Amino acid sequence: LNRSLIPSFEKAGLEIIADYEELTEAQCAYLDEYFETNIYPILTPMAMDSSRPFPLVRNKTLNIGALIAQKESKKKKESFEFATVQVPAVLPRLINLPDAEDGHKVIILLEEVIRKYIGKLFQHYRVLCAYPYRIMRNAELDVDEDEAEDLLKEIQKQLKKRQWGEVIRLEIAEGVDKRLLKILVREFNVSQEDIFFIPGPIDLTFLMKVYGLPGFDAYKTKGYTPAPVREFADTEDVFEVIRRKDVFVHHPYMSFDPVVRFVQKAASDPDVLAIKQTLYRVSGDSPIVAALARAAESGKQVTVLVELKARFDEEHNIVWAKMLEKAGCHVIYGLLGLKVHSKITMVIRREEDGIRRYVHLGTGNYNDSTAKL
């Protein structure tokens, strides 16, 4: 990031303020009002002392850790307290600032703005130091499938624990105050091997937002358009095509649309009696899930095996599974001892010469979004 991306951004006319001390007077004046209006009302500082335990810090959230001392303290030896502020995920991570004198677009990260004004959260204290940090907790689900009476309920119970599991990684800004680091290491109970000093912004997901900034299209790689599948190009009847011969489709180089059309056609075709499908991961607004629900609502026999153990998509899959059940689908919550990570769809159709089965078989997921990557 520091060696390559940020210099490249600057050449393209984009400056990212990674440290609030780099701000100009005009930018500071702009941020004074922005902070008071948009950020300050949402922040919730939490301190730790003899009467208040160390606050619970959620998994993978970005936080600002600070050491604060009373302004009017009469103690000879300076004492300090630990405080932390979670960077609100509901606010945009990138904040646009007035353009630079050379016309460059300037942005600053939300956590740097909070660092700059963190003193406003502790009116009767001096802020000795403040640094961003993030923890990652053990996300492994401890599910004994042989002992679990209800796999769905057991996974739901384990998901609630995931946010508060054992800390296995601490990321913190390079150059952090040793006193602050000592507190974090002690409270999170992490070893030296699990501490990562970051020489720049923590949590680089903000770069996806940078990519989406307007005015820089000339610097982006042109999007790839998957090739159409020749066999399906001139007909809407996917069953007729498959009936003639097997069709091989290579994603993402070839379009995923025929797969979506296959399921949608099966859902609307009055001659289709049943649909059986596996689901591992799907897109946020999945046309395939919507088609399965419509098929069940229209009276077709729809059976869906939803893999509850899809890593980090467990919660999404539970939501899809319950929605499909409400639509009338028969939902199977995975297979005992196995993880189903594949694309399988069987469509059972009544035709003039009897019952015929049409199958789509492949690796990966029924995710129409990632199939294009």
Out of 36-50, 94-108, 132-146, 257-271, the most confident range is 257-271
Confidence of residue 308 (pLDDT cuts 50, 70, 90): confident
Which residue's entry shows tokens 């492949």? 362
| 79 φψ region: left (φ > 0), alpha (ψ -120 to 50), beta (else) | beta
Which segment of 5-14, 86-95, 107-116, 175-184 scores lowest on mean pLDDT? Answer: 5-14
Is the pLDDT at 204 greater than 90? The verdict is yes
Question: What pLDDT, on a 0 to 100 scale, did the predictor assign at position 90?
Answer: 95
Which segment of 61-65, 177-181, 207-211, 346-350 scores lowest on mean pLDDT? Answer: 207-211
**Stretch 216-224: mean pLDDT, rounded?**
86
Question: What pLDDT, on a 0 to 100 scale, did the predictor assign at position 310?
Answer: 67
Task: State yes or no: is 251 an active-site residue.
Answer: no
Position with higher pLDDT, 263 vs 223: 263
Confidence of residue 260 (pLDDT cuts 50, 70, 90): very high
Question: What pLDDT, on a 0 to 100 scale, did the predictor assign at position 191?
Answer: 95
**Stretch 203-219: mean pLDDT, rounded?**
90
Is the pLDDT at 366 greater than 70? The verdict is yes
Share of the chain above pLDDT 90, in %: 58
Question: What pLDDT, on a 0 to 100 scale, did the predictor assign at position 224?
Answer: 85
Question: What pLDDT, on a 0 to 100 scale, did the predictor assign at position 372?
Answer: 73
Question: What pLDDT, on a 0 to 100 scale, did the predictor assign at position 110?
Answer: 96
Identify the active-site residue in 251, 316, 330, 341: 341
Q: What pLDDT, in 10s, does the model give residues 140-191?
A: 766 655 555 567 777 777 667 767 789 999 999 999 999 999 999 999 999 9
**Stretch 307-316: mean pLDDT, rounded?**
75
Question: What pLDDT, on a 0 to 100 scale, did the predictor assign at position 76?
Answer: 58
d(CA 20, CA 152): 47
Q: What pLDDT, in 10s, does the model give residues 21-63?
A: 888 888 999 999 999 999 999 999 998 876 778 888 999 999 9
Position with higher pLDDT, 103 vs 133: 133
d(CA 36, CA 43): 11
Is the pLDDT at 301 greater than 60? The verdict is yes
- Identify the structural domains of the chain with CATH numbers, from first to last: 5-219 (3.30.1840.10), 230-372 (3.30.870.10)
Q: What is the mean pLDDT of the chain?
A: 89
